[in-house]
Amino acid sequence: MGEGPRRQRGLRGSPSPGRGHGVGKAAGTKARELSTRGQGARRDEGRSGGGAVRMVRRSRRRKLPKVTRLCGPEEGLRVKRSCPSCGPEPGGEEKKGRGNPVSVQLFPPELVEHIISFLPVRDVVSLGQTCHYFHKVCDSEGVWRRICHRLSPRLRERSSVVQPWKRAAILNYTKGLYFQAFGGRHRCLSKSVAPVLAHGYRRFLPTKDHVFILDYTGTLFFLKNALVSSTLGQVQWKRACRYVVLCRGAKDFASDPRGDTVYRKYLYVLATREQPGVVGTTHIRSGDCVEVYLQSSGQRVFRMTFHHSMSFKQIVLLGQETQRALLLLTEEGKVYSLVVNETQLDQPRSYTVQLALRKVSRCLPHLHVACMASNQSSALYITDQGGVYFEVHTPGVYRDLFGTLQAFDPMDQQMPLALSLPAKVLFCALGYNHLGLVDEFGRIFMQGNNRYGQLGTGDKMDRGEPTQVHYLQRPVALWCGLNHSLVLSQGSDFSKELLGCGCGAGGRLPGWPKGSASFVKLHIKVPLCACSLCSTRECLYVLSSHDIEHHPAYRDLPASRVAGTPEPSLGAGAAQDPGGAVAQACEQYLSQIHSCPTFQDRVEKMKEIVGWMPLMAAQKDFFWEALDMLQRAAGGVGPGPPTPDS
């Protein structure tokens, strides 16, 4: 009875009769041997695993002396996070068993620069703002040279032209051309194809089907078939558009000054070319010339060469096709002009054109013109001292700009007219019958026709002299079109926004289809590094490029010249209002609101008055949205989000 269970256990392996006890004993012995072998195998595996760990530890110990050669024999492997020049890390002495921190300053400068060069440009700039050591390292030419070679490998061949490397890297990191078609549903800008060879973007010009871009090395790029029309009649970027190099050595370029791109048939390029010397000599000299290209194909059809002693820096166009005047500005600040007939440029013939000194430089020889602007019937000159001189050729535009024809002389259209401004003018924008000026204090002055509210003064009254727009200060760029104006402004957090006023038909002011008599914030997401803009009949263009060497030279307005600012006082002093003009205007506004018969009419009148008042754009948006909410609540409409059309 006692052996039954043992026999059963022994018979599990082999059920042979007569040897139950012996077989079971043997089976048990084998089982014990197998279990012993399994434990030994596990011990061997553990020994091999421990040996591998020990080998890794030995390799780490071997690498340790190599690292401690850089850090010193008494320092550990932990890298210090704080600035090397700020002293030891607080609480570091209390941490035992971790070793002393390693100073980044002890590493070779080439190694630190090599590591930092793999960071994005934005992170490199942020790292340079942490401490003095990293500011010095991140500002070195070695870091930016590696970053520039990573962003644009082709710039290695032109290293002598693109230096300094920091400026070159930031130019190529921030370059971009953005575009938005009018009338579309999308409120964001789409980016175009960026030429790889371009060294930043300095200027651009859209034509009917193509876009021309000039970089900082004088290379003019031709984006062929960049725009296409969809079945709904909207214009959009063509994904497969290609770009070619139109010419090199370009200084400036221009086309028909009218806002409609249909008239831009030819492209005039001011460039520097090598010219043969005197007959019988092999000496080659470089001189300036004007080359004319067809915008449709990029083919050169005409070329005008000048004497090698004359050096120009800017070109603008003036007049109609049959009497196209080319205004050329020299390095010395003198303005020359010549007249060509565009209808005969495609004919293969050669003739001599007279280059004459413009009257603004002939009658006022002491003036040094710094820059020019033009449209089809007028030209504007800004001197190096900030003076502004106007040249108007048609009586209609003269009446719109100055409100009278008293001083207009049809027999002497080139006579320059001086504009009286209280400060030095930095840049300007010239439309068909209105203009905008920005002075050294960042103030914006508008003048001319205001039929659609394109001056942004809050009303639709014409201005015959420069009138300040009080609620806008320090713009980045200003643009004037046919009947609307655009301002690119920058906030305190360096964010950009686009403001517009005037006619909103055709989607010219996204978010404001009915237009506005004052500058309002457009519903467009503007790039962070936007620097210039341009608007045509079909679309809006924004150029993005940040040049660290170009800073706005705005000055702070002296306190004695700030009009209407409150003076601090201990009593119940209020803002000074000389003559009570502000109080009188507010009383008139209240009387106008009181005369409205219904609540809806009063709200609409209040919206109009808010547009007239000299408020900031954000303040106007706040009041308009608040009035919309009140209007919807009074009309029984739910409190939904404000629409762009409101």
Q: Give me the numbers of helices (H) and strands (E) for the chain, helices first please.
A: 13, 30
- Give the pLDDT confidence of 313-354 residue by residue, as tens digits: 999 999 888 889 999 999 999 999 999 988 888 777 777 778
User: Do 241 and 223 meet the contact criterion of CB atoms below 8 Å apart?
Assistant: yes
Q: What is the pLDDT of residues 23-50, one digit of tens each?
A: 444 445 444 454 444 555 445 545 544 5
Q: Work out the angle at residue 338's Cα, subtended by the Cα atoms of residues 533 and 407, and round it to the nearest 5 degrees.
A: 75
Token pair for 434 = 């209105």
Centre a 10 Å sphere on the Cβ of residue 603 and count the other Cβ atoms it contains.
18
The tens digit of pLDDT for each residue in 551-590 reads 767 888 876 555 444 433 333 333 445 446 677 777 777 8
pLDDT band for 368, please (50, 70, 90 cuts). very high
**Tokens 């003009």 belong to which residue?**
581
pLDDT of residue 229 exceeding 70: no
Mean pLDDT lowest among 17-31, 239-253, 304-318, 345-359: 17-31
Mean local confidence (pLDDT), 286-294: 91
Q: What pLDDT is attached to residue 65?
A: 47
Position with higher pLDDT, 129 vs 413: 129
Q: What is the DSSP letter of 83?
A: -
For the entire predicted model, the pTM comes to 0.71
Structural contact between residues 536 and 481, judged by C-beta atoms closer than 8 angstroms: no
pLDDT tens sequence across 399-411: 988 888 887 888 8
Within 226-278, where are the H helices? none
Distance CA 303, CA 291 (A): 4
Lowest mean pLDDT among 94-98, 105-109, 507-511, 615-619: 94-98
More confident residue, 462 or 62: 462
Spatial distance between the Cα atoms of 381 and 329, rounded to a whole number of angstroms: 10
Asked whether residue 4 carries a pLDDT value surpassing 50, the answer given is no
In the predicted structure, residue 274 carries a pLDDT above the cut 90 = no
